[in-house]
Structures are given as C-alpha cells and as structure tokens.
Amino acid sequence: SDLQKQEERGELLQPLIFVLLVLCSVLLYFKVSLMDPGFVKPEEEVKEGEDKGQGVVIPQIPGDVKLRRCGYCLVKQPMRAKHCQLCQHCVRRYDHHCPWLENCVGERNHPLFIVYLSVQLVVLLWGGQVAWSGLYFEQSREWLQHNIFLLVSFLLILIFTIVVLLLLVSHLYLISCNTTTWEFMSHHRISYLRHSELENPFDQGIILNLWGFFC
C-alpha cells in the first residue's frame, strides 16, 4: 500500500517526530504551569545563604541588608524571593508571573520553563516551514480564496515565533548574568541590589552562572 511505501522511504518519520514534539510541548506547558515554582513555606527555617548558588556571593552584599518578613503572608523571605499578589505566595528566586501559564516562574520551574520555550520554538519554526512550503503566490482573487487559511496560519506562526524567540533570548541573557526579570526591571527598588557596591553581586561569570542555573 502507499502507507507501507511511505514508511519504507522514511517519509512518515518526520510527521511522527513533529507530533511527538507537539505532545512534548503540551506536557511541558502543563508541568510548568501546575508545579510549585518555589513557594516559601511558613514552617521553613530561613537562614542567610540558604538559597541555591548564593553561598559564594552573599558576603558581598552589605551587612545592613536584613532578611525581612513579607507584609502579605508574614513568612521570612530568603534572599531574592518576592511575594506574588496573584499567586498569594512568596516565591524563591522570583522571576515573573507568567499570564500564559497562570503561574509564577521561580527557582524550581525556571529551568523547565526555558526547556518549554526551546521546544515551543522548534515546533513553531517547523510548523512555519511547513506552512511556507505549501504557499505559492499568485496575484488573483481565486488564489487568495484557496490559500487564505494557510496564509493566516503562516502569519500567526510567524508572530508567535518572534515572540517566543525574543522571550527565550532575553531569558538566556539574564540567566548568563545570574539575574532575574524582576531584579533587572526593579534594580533601583530592591534593597540588596540598591545598597550593593557591585551592580550585580550574584554574577559569577557566564559559565558558572549557566552551570548553577541548569545543573
């Protein structure tokens, strides 16, 4: 049969891989959106330097910067934690609250969030290439009527690809500097950054920053 011939020529492998990538993307989405991003529990005993990867750089932060209690949930916040009013929790190494995930991106799910963006980008690029390959342009009304759905699909894929690419690149840049979106956007409002002699007291170099984040 034609299906067997296509299988023998390996023509079914690419669609299968694409479907698996889409499935992986969906599973990653639910995993990142449903998992604990690093909520600070009230019963935890928070000690200075407890945060992952902070032991080397905490001494560079001025001594007058004290760990404080959150004014909303009354837990003692670790360094780099922030209260999210949408989640009603303090989140360790808070990066941002993602409206697409309806969850915070923090210490526990940030690496998986980067993996999700990477897989999503591959799916979008692949889908965009497939949509583009199906287009042949003619200046006629009949052509537009027959190809409008494919053309709109390609434009939507292009827009989402640009958004995901910019988001992924910006996050990788911040990770390489060992900073978060919140710290980058609100540097002047954060006490442990505002009073520090260094612009970024957590920066240990690109290699160590990436190693500490992903490993």
Among the listed residues 98, 104, 177, 215, the single catalytic one is 98
Is 70 marked active-site?
no
What single letter denotes the amino acid at residue 104? Answer: C
Active-site residues, by number, are 98
